[in-house]
Structure 1
Amino acid sequence: MPRFTTTLPRRFAAASLPALVLVLSGACLPAAQAALFEDDEARRAILELRQRVDSLQQANQRTTEDVRRTGDDGSQVRRSLLELQNQIDALRTETAKLRGQNEQLLREVAELQRQQRDIAVGVDERLRQFEPIKVSVDGQEFMADPAEKTAFEAALAGFRSGKFADAQTAFAGFLKQYPRSGYAASARFWLGNAQYATRNYKEAITHFKALLAAAPNHARAPEAALSIANCQMELKETRGARKTLEDLLVAYPKSEAASTAKERLAQMK
């Protein structure tokens, strides 16, 4: 007997396999019931058909499970993708935040660098204020601190403006603060003149003599000697004044003060 070859649509096989078995069985039994049980080939065909039906049922079940698993896997994939997108969004937000913080830090660093430059410039300027500078006073050159130079010039400005008492105080303070200054001889000279102007003749003589003792070759030395004689004359010390003028002519014969001394001596005879 020829074998049955059965080709069923997938949906038909998935949905109506039990019913198909019954239909086929019912159609075959009336026509050849006796032969079916006697013929081995017919029996094998029926068994084979049933095996195919069972195989189709199992395949249908596996397909259904695969579809369900695929759906579950799809849901898992979608959840994973959603979580990944959330993580990406969070990273973008964090990156933007860090970028903003970085820009702020860059601005702060730039500001600190600017402040550092300003401080460095200020320090350099302040250091230059304390660096000794070369000055020239009464024909002498020497190194002096800027503050020292400023103090001397301020005292001298006071004397030249006629503020003799203030100048006296300023020069006395200068000599106390800068006893070894290159300005010392000049400061003593102007201090003596300020004291002479305020009629403090004895103190003036003291400072003029200190100048001659410390710097006999100073440009102001001849004038200091003449000023001593002037103070002595104010104090009515005529003999002392004469001696001072005579010593001046010996020590500084070519100076302008010597010419004045000669005139004063001629008047005293």
Structure 2
Amino acid sequence: MSLYSLSLRRTAILAATISLLSVTIPAHAFADDDARRAILELRAQIKQITDQNQQARLQLADQLETMQSEVTSMRGELEKLRWQQDMDKRSTQDQSGGSHPKVDNPQEQTAFDQPMGLFHSGKYKEAAAAFGGFLKNYPNSQLAAEAQFYQGSSFYASKNFKGAIQELQSLVQANPKDPRAADALLVVAASQIELNNMAGAKSSLQKIVKSYPQTSAAETAKSRLKLLQ
């Protein structure tokens, strides 16, 4: 083969190679672009799914928190109803089964009966103020401890939990043997629970069981201690 023919052949091969490369290189480039595009689209889909899952988890967490809050509120309302029923049952009797103490002074008796009427009518803020007025006017009355108990109970019912604790703890400290002392500690414990003072509530309930074991309040305290464990 002549040098000229060989040169032509090499030129043809080179041209064919260049032509082939001009075809195959863009094809590979397009293939790479498609792959990258598919990867990007997949990543976008994964991110979208992840974001949706995260949003769903947040919504579920919010729903659970709302449900827990509603359950807690319902428990609080149920506890309050139980307490009110208990107070209604106890309000006309002391621990020995007797009725409210009576006094000979009609004016003094009326001054006590008036806030008691407010209490039984569910007007607890007004009752608390009226019992306070009675205690101010008749500090040495035979009805003073009774009035103090119902003032503290009125504070509790009107959600003045700190006032209830202060008033009723004062009653128990001053009159530890009073027929209302155990009941007063029950209301103290209920107020402490409302204030999320579980340790204080347990202490108050344990004091009832230890110091007033023969009272009906002690049985109530035992059942509530089980709930707090």
Q: What's the TM-score, normalizing by structure 2?
A: 0.55
Unaligned runs of 5+ in 2: 1-91
**Does structure 1 conserve the Cα–Cα contact (< 8 Å) formed by 2:103 and 2:109?**
no
Match of 2:144 in 1: 184
Equivalenced residues, count: 134
Q: Which amino acid aligns with 1:242?
A: K
Counterpart pick for 2:176 among 205, 213, 216:
216
Q: Is it true that 1:235 corresponds to 2:179 in the alignment?
A: no
Q: What are the superposed Cα offsets for residues 138-180 of structure 1, whole Å, 9 maximum, x if unpaired?
A: 4475644211100100110011011111111100111011111
Change (3 A) 1:141 1:194: closer
Whether the aligned pair in 2 keeps the contact of 1:193 and 1:204 (CA below 8 Å) is yes
Q: For 1:157, which of 101, 107, 117 is the aligned residue?
A: 117
SS in 2 for 1:155: helix
Conservation of the 8 A alpha-carbon contact between 2:102 and 2:109: no
Residue equivalent to 2:215: 255
2:129 aligned residue: 169
1:208–1:225 contact (8 Å) kept in structure 2: yes
Distance 1:268 1:169 in 2: 32
Quick check: which has more Rg, 1 or 2? Answer: 1
SS in 2 for 1:182: coil
Matched with 1:74 is none
Contact 2:186 2:205 in 1 (8 A): yes
The residue type paired with residue 162 of structure 2 is K
CA distance in structure 2 between the aligned counterparts of 1:137 and 1:148, rounded to whole angstroms: 20
Equivalent residues of 1:137, 1:183 under 8 A apart: no
SS at match of 1:254: coil
Query: Distance in 2 between the 1:190 and 1:223 partners?
Result: 10
Partners of 2:173 and 2:105 in 1: CA distance: 25
Cα RMSD (Å): 1.8
What is the deviation of 1:214? Answer: 2.3
Aligned 8 A contact 2:152 2:164 in 1: yes
What's the TM-score once normalised by structure 1's chain length? Answer: 0.47
Q: AA paired with 2:156?
A: Y
Q: 1:206 aligns with which of 159, 163, 166?
A: 166
Whether the 8 Å CA contact 2:152–2:165 is kept in 1: the answer is yes
Instruction: Give 2:109's aligned amino acid.
Output: K
Contact 2:101 2:143 (8 Å CA) reproduced: no
- Residue type of the alignment partner of 1:249: V
3-state DSSP of counterpart to 1:219: coil
Deviation, 1:207, is 1.1
Deviations 1:175-230 (A, max 9, x none): 01111111100001110111101100111111111211222222211110111110
1:79 counterpart residue number: none
Q: 2-side partners of 1:141 and 1:235: how far apart?
A: 33
